[in-house]
């Protein structure tokens, strides 16, 4: 995407703020997908300023921005209703949409850039890494609560804005094709990884086969359940609001759980070259499992809870397979900052899968403890 011009930024601000006096329009946050700006609405003497978050959406990644914003509007509307019914604060506990002057939840400029705007939620923090186990627990409660509040939302009404996003079966076929084509001539040096992935085709198929038999309910899922997508109250350090709803789609509860474990319960960085440092921490697994099940508040089926360890394994396997596929295809999807980074990312995920297999009974025992 081309860089945002000052004129485009000013026009977008005007579309959401009208003639109100504003200052700011400065880059904000550490996100790598959308262009994000902090806008300050000046309210006059004695009146606190209001802060807005303005974003240009990345339409190269999110190719259906209108459908995406329709998903967000429907989900946040449902969440606000549920939060109010529970005596919470809808303005702080979920995102709110600032509508453009034409009443739409987005604005399209003359260069066909799509813009959106949210009120900034004050007195919150976002963490890239858990500083304590309590932080990890709070994120689990928040994502579980997200499942609970949306358990009666008809997931089939949401648009699948990124088709087959967590279709592990389909990703396995893409992986096999990448190995067969070997366009960069890299396959010969990574036979061990290829054999590891091929030997676990049953992991790629397990959830898809169960869905086909009607054994798993379709849920509203977040699909990017990293710690930094939970805003925490800066005073209480409690999980407050789930953000970054771009990938909210119909999906499986186990995948949301599993993606958190894949990232948050690992003892090493995602691209750690020294695999001896990589394992799935059972203490962190237990902390997250406890929080997630508590947050879900009885809304998951017994089968879904039983399959939470498999969710961790499937999502870790899928992510490793995606990193590996990208490595074979020339590092075209995931950004790399050094040669072989995607291969290192793949290897950490496969090491986690192998470690989970060794600890499988322990993982199942932990889940049974909190059923």
DSSP conformation class of 274: -
HSE-CB of 371 using CA atoms within 13 angstroms: 16
Residue 59 DSSP one-character state = T
The pLDDT of residue 29 is 78
Average pLDDT over residues 139-146: 98
User: Which one, of 16, 55, 259, 276, lies nearest residue 139 by Cα?
Assistant: 259
- Report residue 364 as tokens: 């199942």
What was the pLDDT predicted at 264?
A: 94
- Could you tell me the two tokens for 24? 């700011």
What percentage of residues in the chain have a pLDDT greater than 70?
99
Q: 147 is written with which tokens?
A: 């499942």
The CB density around residue 150, as the number of other CB atoms within 10 Å, is: 21
pLDDT of the residue at 155? 96
The chain-wide mean pLDDT, for the chain, equals 95
d(CA 275, CA 271): 10
pLDDT band at 115 (very low <50, low <70, confident <90, very high): very high
The answer on pLDDT for 72 being more than 90 is yes
Give the whole-angstrom CA distance, residue 361 versus residue 84: 41
Which residues fall within 8 angstroms of residue 157, CB to CB, at 6 or more apart?
74
**pTM, to two decimals:** 0.94
Strands 114-119 and 124-125: unpaired
pLDDT of 371 higher than 90: no
Over residues 340-357, the mean pLDDT reads: 98
Section 148-177 average pLDDT = 95
The pLDDT score that the predictor gives to residue 109 is 97
Give residue 33's pLDDT: 83
Compute the Cα dihedral for 93, 95, 101, 105 and give only its sign.
negative
Average pLDDT over residues 317-332: 96
Looking from the CA of 16 toward its CB, the CA atoms found within 13 Å total 32
Assigned fold of 6-122: Phosphorylase Kinase; domain 1 (3.30.200)
- Please give the average per-residue pLDDT across 149-173, as a whole number: 94
The predicted pLDDT at position 163 comes to 86
Number of Cβ within a 10 Å radius of residue 331: 17
pLDDT number for residue 335: 85
Structure confidence at residue 24 as a pLDDT band (50, 70, 90): confident
Strand partners, 268: none
pLDDT at 48: 76
The residue ranges of every structural domain in the chain are 6-122, 133-370
Segment among 22-36, 78-92, 268-282 with least mean pLDDT: 22-36
Q: How many residues in total does the chain contain?
A: 371
Q: What CATH number has the domain spanning 133-370?
A: 3.90.1200.10
Residue 32 has pLDDT above 80, yes or no: no
Residues 6+ apart with CB under 8 A from 333: 322, 326
pLDDT tens-digit readout, 2-16:
999 999 999 999 999
Identify the DSSP state of 266. Answer: B
Place of tokens 């949401």: 158
């Amino acid at each position: 995407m081309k860089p945002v011009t000052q004129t485009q930024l000013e026009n977008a601000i005007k579309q959401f703020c009208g003639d109100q006096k504003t200052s700011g329009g400065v880059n904000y946050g550490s996100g790598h997908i959308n262009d994000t700006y902090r806008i300050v609405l000046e309210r006059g003497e004695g009146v606190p300023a209001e802060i807005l978050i303005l974003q240009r959406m990345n339409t190269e990644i999110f190719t259906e921005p209108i459908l995406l914003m329709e998903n967000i509007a429907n989900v946040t509307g449902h969440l606000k209703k549920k939060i109010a019914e529970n005596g919470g604060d809808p303005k702080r506990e979920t995102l709110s949409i600032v509508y453009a002057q034409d009443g739409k939840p987005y604005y399209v400029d003359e260069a066909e850039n799509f813009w959106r705007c949210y009120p900034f939620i004050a007195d919150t923090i976002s963490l890239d890494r858990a500083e304590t186990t309590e932080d990890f627990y709070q994120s689990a409660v928040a994502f579980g609560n997200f499942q609970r509040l949306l358990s009666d939302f008809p997931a089939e009404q949401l648009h699948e804005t990124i088709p087959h996003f967590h279709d592990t079966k389909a990703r396995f076929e893409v992986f096999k094709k990448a190995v067969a084509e070997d366009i960069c001539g890299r396959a010969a040096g990574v036979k061990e990884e290829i054999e590891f992935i091929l030997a676990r085709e049953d992991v790629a198929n397990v959830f898809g086969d169960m869905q086909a038999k009607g054994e798993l309910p379709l849920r509203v899922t977040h699909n990017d359940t990293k710690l930094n997508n939970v805003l925490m109250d800066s005073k209480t350090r409690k999980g407050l609001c789930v953000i970054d709803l771009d990938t909210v789609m119909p999906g499986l509860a186990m995948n949301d759980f599993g993606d958190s474990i894949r990232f948050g319960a690992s003892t090493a960085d995602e691209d750690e070259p020294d695999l001896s440092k990589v394992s799935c921490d059972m203490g962190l697994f237990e902390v997250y499992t406890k929080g997630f099940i508590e947050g879900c508040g009885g809304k998951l089926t017994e089968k879904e809870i039983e399959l939470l360890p498999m969710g961790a394994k499937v999502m870790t396997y899928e992510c490793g397979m995606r990193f590996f596929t990208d490595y074979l295809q020339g590092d075209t999807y995931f950004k790399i900052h050094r040669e072989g980074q995607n291969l290192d990312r793949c290897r950490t995920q496969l090491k986690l899968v192998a470690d989970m297999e060794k600890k499988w009974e322990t993982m199942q025992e932990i889940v049974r403890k909190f059923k």
